[in-house]
Amino acid sequence: MNRPSLSLAAPLELLQWQARWRALVVAVAAVAVLSFQTQGWFTGTPRDVVLVLATYLAVVATAAFGAARLSPRMESASVAVTILADVAALTAITAVASRPGHHDWVLLVGFFVVHLAEYSFSRLAALLAMVSTALGYLVLFAARGDTSAAEWSEAAYALAIYLAVVGTFMMQYASRRRRLRRIIALFERAEQGDFTEAYDLVADRRPDAVSAVGNAYNRVRARLEKLVLTDALTGCLNRRGFDQALDRELARTARGDSNVALLALDIDHFKQINDTHGHLAGDDVLRQVGSMLRALVRSGDVVARAGGDEFLVLCSDATREGAEQLAQRLCEKVAAHDFAGQGARIELSISIGVATSDMVPPTDSAAELQRRADRALYEAKRAGRNRMRCWSHEAGLTAPTSAA
């Protein structure tokens, strides 16, 4: 059975997986204790050892498998029962099999119970293991009955060392767990195509293996962003990257008084270019158009290839008049440029539809902005191409403007 993922598995899943390993550890421990008893190294009887370990296995199996069938809401109770069973079995074995002077083994082995609880479950589970181990040790020590003040002082000293070591470990592990969760969150956002945040290495005051993982994420972040959000042919953003940029820009404008403008543009009669000069020439044209658009817009504007021969330009802090001027300039520049495609000189033009966010209702603004820009683009093409049209409330669209 494969080990479940710690970031995704529920406590009961982990308990069920660990129950098999606990059974194996118990079997090894039983053989070891019984063997030591035959050599006279441990006290007690084999019957006591077998009874303790059998009871422990019964409790662990019930917590791991029984609770899952009774109620999923009993996960926390099952974890607590299992941890208490670990400590109780450790304490009982120590009581029946070891001499009084060796009771400090409870604290040593109890540290591993704390580690398992912290690693697999939660801080609360680790605290339960730490406290119950300390109480078990005190019960064993008090049960001797003939302890002196000096021996109690030694026990208190051993317990203080145990609590200091375990407390330090838990604080260190809490920091590591918190940073690991941060990295997991970054990867989960990256899975959705969001690469806006990097792992904060400055916050890691003590660089360690977790820092190395965060640094590795930062190194591949730029490459992943380019692979996931960039159109491989033109170098512009792809549709996913554009949608994220549009959502961010609209959210920003909603908090202020600025507007954004969206330009939707198509290459006129692009199919004829493919039919006449071939698809490789068409790809050359798309690359050159994408490069030209990126060179003509402002540094903060976004250029994306929506698919086929359709491009999108998102202009931040833009007025309607500024967006119209940009669209007109793009039409003129493209019409005046000679494009090269597989050795052939190709003349072409573009049609552009313009929409601005100040004309779009706040609800569903991203979809509505794109719908209006597409509608304006359709009207520009229907009016004869090589022109721009802008959406308006009064007539739905403005009069066509030609770049010819």
Please report, in tens digits, the pLDDT of each residue of the chain (404 residues total).
Answer: 444 444 334 676 777 778 878 888 878 877 776 676 666 555 666 777 778 888 888 888 888 776 666 565 677 888 888 889 889 988 887 777 766 667 787 888 888 889 888 888 888 889 999 999 999 988 888 887 667 778 888 889 889 999 999 999 888 888 888 888 899 999 888 877 788 788 888 887 777 888 888 888 888 887 888 888 899 999 999 999 999 899 989 888 877 777 899 999 999 999 999 999 999 999 999 999 999 999 999 998 999 999 999 999 999 989 899 999 999 999 999 999 999 998 899 999 999 999 998 877 765 689 999 999 999 999 999 999 999 999 876 545 554 444 54
**Long-range CB contacts (within 8 A, 24+) of 200-207:** 204/179
Contact (Cβ atoms closer than 8 angstroms) between residue 355 and residue 379: no
Pairwise CA distance, residues 303 & 315, whole Å = 9
Nearest alpha carbon to residue 349 among 341, 338, 359, 358: 338
Give the tokens for residue 334. Answer: 């493209």
298 backbone dihedrals φ, ψ, rounded to 5°: -75, 165
Q: Whole-prediction pTM value?
A: 0.58
Parallel, antiparallel, or unpaired for β 387-392 and 350-356? parallel
Q: How far apart are CA 371 and CA 348, in angstroms?
A: 25
| CA-CA-CA-CA dihedral for 286, 287, 292, 295, to nearest 10 | 140
pLDDT reported for residue 210: 87
pLDDT of residue 155: 86
The enclosing H or E element of 373 equals helix 365-382
Sequence letter at residue 170: M
Rounded Cα–Cα distance for residues 6 and 26 (Å): 24
CA-based R_g, the chain, Å: 35
Q: What is the residue whose two structure tokens read 């997986």?
A: 17
Residue matched to tokens 């202020």: 256
- Is there a contact between 290 and 309 (Cβ–Cβ < 8 Å)? no
Question: From the centroid of its chain, how far is CA 13?
Answer: 21
Residue 113 near residue 60, CB atoms below 8 Å: no
Helix (H) or strand (E) holding 241, with range, is helix 239-254
Of the candidates 36, 135, 52, 134, the residue with the CA atom closest to the CA atom of residue 96: 52
93 and 115 Cβ atoms separated by less than 8 Å: no
Token duo for residue 297 = 């817009």
How far apart (Å, rounded) are the C-alpha atoms in residues 232 and 300?
Answer: 21
- Name the CA dihedral angle for 313, 357, 391, 320, rounded to a multiple of 10 degrees: -80
**Which amino acid is it at 98?**
S
**Packed helices 11-38 and 46-61: angle between N→C axes, nearest 10 degrees:** 170
Q: Which two tokens stand for residue 212?
A: 């190395």
Determine the Cα–Cα distance for residues 42 and 63; give it in Å rounded to an integer. 30
Q: Which domains does the chain have, with CATH numbers?
A: 11-146 (no CATH), 239-402 (3.30.70.270)
Nearby residues of 268 by Cβ (< 8 Å), 6 or more positions away: 348, 349, 350, 351, 381, 385, 386
Q: How far apart are CA 261 and CA 309, in angstroms?
A: 20
Sole residue written with tokens 């004869």: 384
